[in-house]
Structure 1
Amino acid sequence: MRLSFVKSAKKEAFLYCAAVMGMFLLPFTIHGQKPSEYVNPFIGTSNYGATFPGPVVPWGMVSVVPYNVTPHEGNEYSNTDGWCSNPYVYNNELMTGFSHVNLSGVGCPDLGSILLMPTTGDLEVDFNRYGTAISNQEASPGYYSAFLDRYSIKAEATTTTRTGISRYTFPEGKANILLNLGHGLTNESGAFVKMVSDTEIEGYKLMGTFCYNPEAVIPVYFVVEFSKPAIKRGYWKKQPQLPGTRHQWSSTSGQFKIYDNYSRELAGEQIGAWYSFETEKGETIEAKVGVSYVSIENARKNLNAEQPAFDFEQTMAQAKERWNHQLSKIEVEGGSEEDKVKFYTALYHLLIHPNILQDVNGEYPAMESAEILKTDGHNRHTVFSLWDTYRNVHPLLTLVYPEQQTDMLNSMVDMYKESGWLPKWELYSRETNVMEGDPALVVLADSYLRGLTGFDVETAYEGMMKSAMSGGDENPLRPHNDFFKKNHFIAFRDSFDNTVSEALEFYVADYSLSRLALALGKKKDHEMLYERSLGYKKYFDPEYDLMRPLEADGTFMPNFDPMQGEMFEPVHGFHEGNSWQYSFAVPHDIRGLMRLMGGADRFVHQLERTFNDGLFDMSNEPDMGYPWFFNYVKGEEWRTQRTVRDCVNRYFHTGPDGLPGNDDTGTMSAWLLYSMMGFYPVSPADPVYTLSSPVFDRVTIHLDEDYFPGEKIVIESVNNSEDNIYIRKMELGGKPLRKFMISHDELIEKGYLKFYLDDQPDR
């Protein structure tokens, strides 16, 4: 039987329902179930998780998502989470279409566009008026369905890499399908649309300005095809307020001009196209959408190549097969059903971004350029949320999906070749400049040191040194680099700035680059960068045993309050957190930090306090390594085992609010995956894992033999249970293991890690 996740718009619970067995054989099944059947796409759709339940394939360009975040007058968005960066929120009930380009788990609104909306009856084109409650939602990898209550329409959707297809089952009577190009999450406006025939529409929509960067504008091109000719079709356009009229311009006024005798093309801001049909009861109409970031012609090529015919069932089956193939790379046994749902949903979310950008002909928009280029032997990826993902997403991809990670490394190097700078937070070949630090350095160095050498490392190193050494006036990644290179810290500038958190990110980047320099035989670069990476010590205030902002002369900022502020509130020296969430964020030199604190006892005391006093924030990246840092103190490793398991159980579950905050393009999910498997890449650019007790009896990671020796890694737990979370002894490759740190090479070469568990810590 298949475990299917269903949501009713009137209920807050997930129900189990029976369905047919899958169509394709897999490398393994769990109790007769394929791994995709444990995935619950509703997890993370509330509590700011910013995920979506609509279908997408692994690393797919297109996703088809029910859009239920409704703008009101003043451009405020109605949703129970308050801040909306995603097109779907679980608790909302009013759906206004299916968006075809979307982002998963991000913290700023963008995309959520190219919306198709089926309706019945008289034509209504104002989304404030045609929205409908939905019920009987069902979501699984590669498939979504819902019943549109107001119109008695069953809507279903599935995808390929670059296309989406939706199927609408209509009642008898007049049916409409609306293409709304003025509705969505993007901060940009403006679109073009042309009706090609009574079954086809083409056009483009401007998107971008992610996190309100005015320069990051992105055009997306599309072609829509319907399986049935329309009996009538036309456009609509929002009318502005005219001089001397009584009515003020309003998004809820319904002042739309309907074009029913004009069929050439239309451009503007609040525009759309409508196609009307006569349907019999139970009749289905399918709508295919091809997307490109290059041209309308390429959108049509993508559609013709990936969906040459209208075949919803085959497209859905292929999407599910692709998910099962990728999810099968990690096999888990034991644990509860809920554990498996959490695990495979996290793996599912991990594999959405960075997604493929190039079209079927290999073309893609160059980074920060109007030029169109072609890929050369690898996939071009986009959506690099690197401040988040350098910590665990890319190390996990390196281990389990090295082919895709190598493509991503090549994509990053190509971005440098095209624009002159490595990416920071890249979105569809535009730099958004979101968050801090120089995170591309960390990803490139860490991946190379873990064995992925299939990219132009010399060109990558050139780009890394450019950002590390260029002066601030010409350096978009390090605007304070002149002072930083000389003094190895960034001076506090005004009432609220991010100088400490910004510098801490540079220390991690410089350390990573120093490790790569050493591996490449560049000894002087290594020594200079390593020394710079230890500049964090200047911020350490022994009065608090915490990091504190510095004035330009190197003295501490006065009136320091380490408890100041919550995430997203202004804080002296720190971004999205306070001193407690950042003061251990020097993973490259934890033992050096321990010495600054006066030894292991004080270090453990301060680290324990972050958890005991509610100072730890699982919802954000800077302190997500904290639970693992007890492993640096001999005899205190049991605290990591206790704390990691507590975080897994406390912050992650199978409800829609089952993530502690934004998934951050898979970063929260990657933390959960590592923690449930029992190991974690605690220090970037150090190919080392630190250990804790796994949740499962057995984990099998199937390795790609083109990249690593051996077929698999097996992690086994003896005497595993809900209470037995403490490690009594360990074995690696059949021999006793007495340390809680093992190298990446050891794990791969030995291939077998065994834990013996108990309900009491070994103190």
Structure 2
Amino acid sequence: MRSFIVDIVSLGVVVRCCVSAAEVDYTQYVNVFQGTISGGNRFPGVVAAPFAMVKLGPDVQSGKKDAYSGYLPDGSIWGFSMMHESGTGGAPKYGVVSQMPALGNVTNPLADLSRGRATADEGQIGYYKSSLSGGIKVELTATEHAGLYQYSFPAGNLSAVVVDVSHVLPSFRGLGWEQHYSKGSFDLFPDGHYEGSGTYNNGWNIAPDWTIHFCGRFEQKPAISKTFRGNGTTPKSYDSTPSVSGPERLGGVFTFRNSSVTSRVGISFTSTTKACQNIKNEIPSGTSFQSLVVKAKSRWNAEVLSKIQVSSTNKTELELLYSSLLGMFLIPSNRTGENPGWNSTEPYYDDVFTLWDTHRCHTSLFQIVQPVSYEEFIRSLIDIWRHDGFMPDARSSNFNGRVQGGSNADNVLADAYVKGVSGAINWEDGFSAMQTDAEKVPPPNNDPRAPDSSTKEGRGALPDCLKYGYITPAFTRAVSRAVEYSTNDFGLHQVAKGLGKAAEAEKYLIRSRNWRNHWNPNATSEGHSGFVVPRWANGSFVPQDPLSCDNSWIYSMNAIHDVALLKQWIGGDERFVDRIDKLFELNIFNAGNEPGFTSPFLYNFVPGMQHRSVERSRNISTRYNGGAGGLPGNSDAGAMESNILWQMIGLWPMTDQTTFLILSPWFPHMTIYLGSDNKLEITTSGGNKDTAFYVQSLKVNGKQWDKAWVAWQDVFANGGTMEFVLGPSPANWATGPPPPSPASGDL
């Protein structure tokens, strides 16, 4: 039985004591509404376990606003559906297999049945509640592949539940990424249950037709069961016909004389038979609603929340910590056994959104908190390559897409490889998957937003890279792609080197320096010279004011495998520090934009400047809280939450490397459980999080430490200890060698 240290405040005295982890319900500190407003786009509904396939929650309409996760704080609810994404942008995805309660006899199921809320929605892990106008209350809970709806209607009235197969989250942005309903089927059975399927397409990843199957049962017998079909808002048929199918809107209406109605629904990507089996296996008849809530809390406590334990009674800090941990593990979705595309014994994860965001700091913490699932995730990426030809940079509804920059599954695999993730991973296949990205041009997918090349998978601008060693303006996002391709190639170098492939290791190390070919030493901005800019096919640089495109400032600092060379080209340590400072002075740095995540901590590469990274970290942390507006930008599938979690830990991961830059921890005591009975214990003394947070000295595994960085092997591979002494003023404690710059050679 694990135990941890907590502070208990009694009569003004702080008492240290040990409490069994099993006795602590960390879900009490979780606000499921964290990041649901101000552009965070988090999903607040029921996710019964980390990466559960079912994400059951409300779908809200409010004018012409896109409800990316289905949820909006204002507006009317027009359905409660089984599938959602979390923290995504671009355009909504899913919002399918929906139910909507109604009062009285529903005469037109295709009419707008939406209702406003009587009070604000409520939620906690495993539970969601909406109180609608007219006295209707909807309570939700779920398992991994099934959902449980509990309706309460005003007594003395007929009540109804409408299942509309055409229900899907719309988009109003006009980007051509809106979802479409293609066709469906709905079958009523003599025993009262129903089965069916819906086929949909498009969405943010421009997917072709995909199908989800469903199966539903009511605990109470309906007084009347009908099917319907039609176009627009006019039914063509509305009767007791047992089966309807086709491209029209269709579904079923179930009318009850009960004031309390319970509905069980299962879903499956493979068949209605499997959907029905999912109900039988996970929510058999008579299952207590509360038992599912308790089970969900137990799983989140055991599998995620208890993995990081701290000594604190500060509810604000605890809410930020544990709400952020929840947000990290809502997606991807573990769909092992639910893959309709191919038969395989390998794990299968979908709803990968997007590795362009998450490879920077999310996947490295994913490995630490959920090592078993992380190995499965890596195997899934490789298996997708085996069957679909490319690993995804993003994936949803069993279809790769989108790519926003590089082929960043390469970074994810390399980061896992250098940190010793093995298990059942076939690393020869993994390297071959990475080589496909590096050598094979993906066919165009005709994205209207980027018609020059594929935005589905792989490296669309690869032809220029192979021909010139840089990317011309013939391709969109030339500079950001070029820098990301360089980091991707460094990932290939790392894996090739580990596998003993000397020739490939050398080849991709050289290619990892291609970002240098975009460096124009004569490009000037705000007193600085040297920026990455686009380059024409004839070799000349495109004239560009780096300040006119913030990406030039941001991506000029993004070759994190080649920092020693970068420092030299910027003009040395002093100019390098000023370059980072300018990101803040000119308001170029955006805490809500992942490409700039690492820049604030590059001070660690300059002797005596580690304290500046700490200052930036503390400033960035003010943009976060555990509330509904508590994220500085789109959650991006938990990328934003992992950012603040690393800063609370006091470390920062360098992708594709075993290096972690040292910041300053928040808590007097933190224990991170690493699996296999290993743990990392981080302690602080002599200071505090808010006013005395500068590192004065550090011991790692009991030995005095003089480097502004640690390696995976030091503290994570087998666990370890980090003992910080903090104080109110900077101290020059990090006098040892700087962090590695593995692509910079002997500089």
Equivalent in 401, 404, 416 of residue 447 of structure 1: 416
* Matching residue's letter, 1:207: Y
Separation in 1 of the partners of 2:477 and 2:223? 59
The TM-score normalised by the length of structure 1 is: 0.85
Number of the residue aligned with 1:692? 663
Separation in 2 of the partners of 1:38 and 1:89? 22
Number of the residue aligned with 1:180? 164
8 Å contact 1:110–1:207 — kept in the other structure?
no
Number of the residue aligned with 1:40? 31
Matched, 1:365 2:330: no
Deviation at 1:447, TM superposition (A): 0.4
Separation in 2 of the partners of 1:176 and 1:112? 20
- Match runs of 1:90-101 below 5 Å: 90=73, 92-101=74-83
Number of the residue aligned with 2:577? 604
Secondary structure, counterpart of 2:507 in structure 1: helix
Number of the residue aligned with 1:733? 701
* Matching residue's letter, 1:589: D
8 Å contact 2:229–2:244 — kept in the other structure?
no
Separation in 2 of the partners of 1:533 and 1:721? 38
User: Where does structure 1 lack aligned partners over 5 or more consecutive residues?
Assistant: 1-24, 71-76, 241-253, 367-371, 566-576
Separation in 2 of the partners of 1:41 and 1:178? 27
8 Å contact 1:157–1:164 — kept in the other structure?
yes
Equivalent in 53, 57, 71 of residue 65 of structure 1: 57
Separation in 2 of the partners of 1:293 and 1:115? 16
Separation in 2 of the partners of 1:315 and 1:61? 15
Equivalent in 131, 136, 139 of residue 147 of structure 1: 131
Number of the residue aligned with 1:10? none
Number of the residue aligned with 2:356? 387
**Cα deviation digits, residues 480-512 of structure 1 (max 9, x gap):** 323312422111227xx2111011111110001
**Which consecutive aligned stretches of 4+ in structure 1 deviate over 4 angstroms post-superposition?**
378-382, 471-476
* Matching residue's letter, 1:157: L
* Matching residue's letter, 1:532: R
Deviation at 1:473, TM superposition (A): 6.2
Separation in 2 of the partners of 1:762 and 1:217? 60
**Cα deviation digits, residues 442-471 of structure 1 (max 9, x gap):** 111110111101200011111211221235
Equivalent in 94, 101, 121 of residue 118 of structure 1: 101
Deviation at 1:154, TM superposition (A): 2.0
8 Å contact 2:36–2:42 — kept in the other structure?
yes
Equivalent in 543, 548, 551 of residue 536 of structure 2: 551
Matched, 1:165 2:165: no
Distance 1:756 1:208, change over 3 A: farther
Secondary structure, counterpart of 1:373 in structure 2: coil
Deviation at 1:658, TM superposition (A): 1.0
Number of the residue aligned with 1:310? 286
Number of the residue aligned with 2:651? 679
8 Å contact 1:210–1:432 — kept in the other structure?
no
Distance 1:447 1:340, change over 3 A: same
User: Where does structure 2 lack aligned partners over 5 or more consecutive residues?
Assistant: 1-17, 171-178, 445-453, 525-529, 733-747
Equivalent in 545, 568, 573 of residue 561 of structure 1: 545
Secondary structure, counterpart of 2:625 in structure 1: coil
Secondary structure, counterpart of 2:148 in structure 1: strand
Deviation at 1:522, TM superposition (A): 0.9
Equivalent in 727, 743, 746 of residue 714 of structure 2: 746
Number of the residue aligned with 1:406? 375
Equivalent in 463, 469, 474 of residue 488 of structure 1: 469
8 Å contact 1:110–1:208 — kept in the other structure?
no
**Cα deviation digits, residues 347-401 of structure 1 (max 9, x gap):** 101111121113xxx35222xxxxx41434x465553521111112211121221
Number of the residue aligned with 2:234? 255
8 Å contact 2:461–2:481 — kept in the other structure?
no
Separation in 2 of the partners of 1:471 and 1:382? 24
Separation in 2 of the partners of 1:336 and 1:208? 46
8 Å contact 2:352–2:393 — kept in the other structure?
no
The alignment yields a C-alpha RMSD, in angstroms, of 2.1
Number of the residue aligned with 1:456? 426
Deviation at 1:127, TM superposition (A): 5.7
8 Å contact 2:185–2:243 — kept in the other structure?
no
8 Å contact 1:732–1:750 — kept in the other structure?
no
**Cα deviation digits, residues 320-345 of structure 1 (max 9, x gap):** 11111121111122272111111111
Separation in 1 of the partners of 2:332 and 2:614? 31
Separation in 2 of the partners of 1:428 and 1:183? 16
Separation in 2 of the partners of 1:628 and 1:482? 34
Number of the residue aligned with 2:399? 430
Distance 1:692 1:269, change over 3 A: farther
**Cα deviation digits, residues 122-172 of structure 1 (max 9, x gap):** 315346343222415221111111211x22122111111111111112221
Distance 1:486 1:220, change over 3 A: same
8 Å contact 2:92–2:204 — kept in the other structure?
yes
Separation in 1 of the partners of 2:668 and 2:377? 33
Matched, 1:290 2:266: yes
**Cα deviation digits, residues 521-546 of structure 1 (max 9, x gap):** 11111111111111111222233232
Matched, 1:712 2:679: yes
Separation in 2 of the partners of 1:299 and 1:473? 35
Matched, 1:587 2:560: yes
* Matching residue's letter, 1:537: R
Matched, 1:236 2:236: no
**Cα deviation digits, residues 33-69 of structure 1 (max 9, x gap):** 5211111011111112111211102110001111113
Separation in 1 of the partners of 2:208 and 2:643? 29
Distance 1:208 1:40, change over 3 A: farther
Separation in 2 of the partners of 1:399 and 1:131? 43
Matched, 1:520 2:499: yes
Secondary structure, counterpart of 2:83 in structure 1: coil
Distance 1:127 1:533, change over 3 A: farther
Number of the residue aligned with 2:728? 759
Deviation at 1:432, TM superposition (A): 1.7
- Number of equivalent positions: 680
Separation in 2 of the partners of 1:750 and 1:307? 39
- Match runs of 1:166-245 below 5 Å: 166-172=149-155, 173-185=157-169, 187-189=179-181, 190-197=183-190, 199-211=192-204, 213=206, 215-239=207-231
8 Å contact 1:383–1:428 — kept in the other structure?
no
Deviation at 1:268, TM superposition (A): 2.9
Secondary structure, counterpart of 1:135 in structure 2: coil
Sequence identity (%): 27
Number of the residue aligned with 2:12? none
* Matching residue's letter, 2:585: N
Distance 1:471 1:143, change over 3 A: closer
Secondary structure, counterpart of 1:317 in structure 2: helix
Deviation at 1:217, TM superposition (A): 3.0
Matched, 1:539 2:518: yes
**Cα deviation digits, residues 681-719 of structure 1 (max 9, x gap):** 1x21111111111122211111211xxxx5211111112
8 Å contact 2:480–2:551 — kept in the other structure?
no
Secondary structure, counterpart of 1:179 in structure 2: strand
Separation in 2 of the partners of 1:194 and 1:501? 50
Equivalent in 629, 632, 637 of residue 665 of structure 1: 637
* Matching residue's letter, 2:167: H
8 Å contact 1:111–1:208 — kept in the other structure?
no
Separation in 2 of the partners of 1:591 and 1:175? 69
8 Å contact 1:677–1:695 — kept in the other structure?
yes
* Matching residue's letter, 1:204: S
